[in-house]
Amino acid sequence: MSQLKPFLKWAGGKSQLIGDIQARLPNYTANQDFCMIEPFLGGGAVSFWALSNLKYLKKLIINDFNEDLINVYQVIKADVQQLMIELDNLQKDYDKLLDKDAKTPYFYAKRASFNQRNLDPVKQASLFIFLNKASFNGLYRVNKKNQFNVPIGSYKRPVFLDKALLLAVSDALQKVVILQGDYEQTIKALPNNLPCWFYLDPPYRPISETASFTAYSHQLFDDSEQRRLHEFCQKIDKLGHQFLLSNSDPTTHSEYDDFFDILYQDFNIERVTANRAIGAKSTSRQAVNELLIRNY
């Protein structure tokens, strides 16, 4: 299989951490069949890397709470040809608009249409990809009413349709189990005959008051949710499976904020360096520590 990559731009995407994650895979992944589970899928960088590179990966289960996002994956799996037709139409229409003044009303009309959520799954998925590529910095953010509210970006010719990539992703997804809902449901889908490795990439705990990218859905992922996730990790551990979890390092902002060091003191905690991929200002795109937490 050729090297897959995310087809979406996603805040907090893990492409830059692939090397750190690869170095921390469970030993059995190198010599025996196993199952991988990614309960917080997002842009899917780790899952796509695993599909391309891990020889003994026999089953992949992906999940996300974000219904709009999972609809895109399901449509790519089931009806990629029709999706490409819709994206091609969007591409042609947008490219005819020669400047931002012309593109702006088109963008906001499509955003309003997306937020109605009354289109068929394919059209809804095409608008998701359109907004992801045309909006400011490719952010996905919704308000408490689940309305996508990111403004138009400054891209002159964003690319909505990458046929080769979408076809490759569609082919790879044919063997993947796609779930939508709370991450805890993934435990019910585990195979009985394979060791299982979870990669957990939840909405990050903000490292400052202005650095929150947790609004991937209208459901708040606050500290109580971080504690519930720790309990989920304990369940995985008791079942005899392995997990690797990534999150922000609060000590980047305050050396006294040891929230995760205390919460995950029963597991292994490491700090690695990552560059922020998305920020409103260039000065915010800097190297920061991130946490990698595992039970092996």
Q: Which of 180, 177, 183, 210 is nearest to 276 (CA)?
A: 210
Nearest to 177 by CA among 164, 161, 196: 196
| Residue from 274, 271, 273 nearest 261 by CA | 271
Structure tokens at 10: 């996603």
How does pLDDT run across 129-174, given as a tens digit for each residue?
999 999 998 888 999 899 999 999 998 899 999 999 999 999 999 9
| Structure confidence at residue 138 (pLDDT) | 81
pLDDT score of 291: 96
* Structure tokens given for 200: 């957990």
According to the model, what pLDDT value does residue 287 have? 73
Q: What is the pTM of this model?
A: 0.92
Hey, what's the torsion of the CAs at 97, 100, 102, 106, to 10 degrees?
90
User: Does residue 41 have a pLDDT over 50?
Assistant: yes
Neighbours of 228 (CB within 10 A): 14
Helix (H) or strand (E) holding 169: helix 163-173
Q: Mean of the pLDDT values across residues 252-271?
A: 91
- Mean of pLDDT values over 72-97: 98
Banded model confidence at residue 278, pLDDT cuts 50, 70, 90? very low
What is the per-residue pLDDT for 281?
A: 52
Q: How far apart are CA 190 and CA 35, in angstroms?
A: 8
Mean of all residue pLDDT scores within the chain: 91
pLDDT at 284: 53
Q: What is the mean pLDDT of residues 114-121?
A: 98
